[in-house]
């Protein structure tokens, strides 16, 4: 079971504001989903190696050669607020 406090803690980790109603609903929904997820524990997984990806590749390297990339102007074009040289945000220490 996931309670309200856990929901609020996880929402904080995920930088996600939730309204009061959403916190309650999320607690119920996550509990139900995790209950299903926990059916994994019926399996005997002793000694089984975890799979993080399925491609039979390790350390794909390339020559460290500089290549042209996006112009700064183009990269800044889609930002909701930008200066000539960067993305503009409120001070992280403002509050």
Each residue 27-46 as x (binds another protein by CB under 8 A) or -, in order, gives --xx-xxx-xxxxxxxx-x-
Question: Applying CB under 8 A, which of residues 52, 65, 84, 85 lies at the interface with another protein?
Answer: 52
d(CA 42, CA 62): 44
**Cβ neighbour number for residue 76 with a 10 Å cutoff:** 17
> Which residues sit opposite 87 in a β-bridge?
82
Our CB check for another protein shows the closer of 24 and 77 to be: 77
d(CA 95, CA 91): 9
d(CA 69, CA 21): 45
Binding site for another protein (CB under 8 A): 2, 6-7, 10-11, 13-18, 22, 26, 29-30, 32-34, 36-43, 45, 48-55, 57, 60, 62, 70, 74-75, 77-81, 87, 89-92, 94-95
């Amino acid at each position: 079971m996931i309670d309200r406090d856990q929901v609020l803690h996880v929402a904080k980790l995920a930088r996600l504001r939730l309204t009061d109603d959403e916190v309650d609903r999320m607690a119920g929904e996550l509990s139900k989903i995790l209950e299903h997820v926990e059916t994994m524990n019926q399996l005997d997984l002793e000694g089984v190696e975890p799979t993080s990806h399925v491609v039979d590749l390790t350390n794909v390297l390339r020559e460290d050669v500089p290549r042209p990339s996006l112009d700064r102007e183009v990269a800044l074009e889609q930002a909701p607020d930008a200066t000539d040289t960067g993305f503009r945000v409120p001070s992280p220490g403002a509050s």
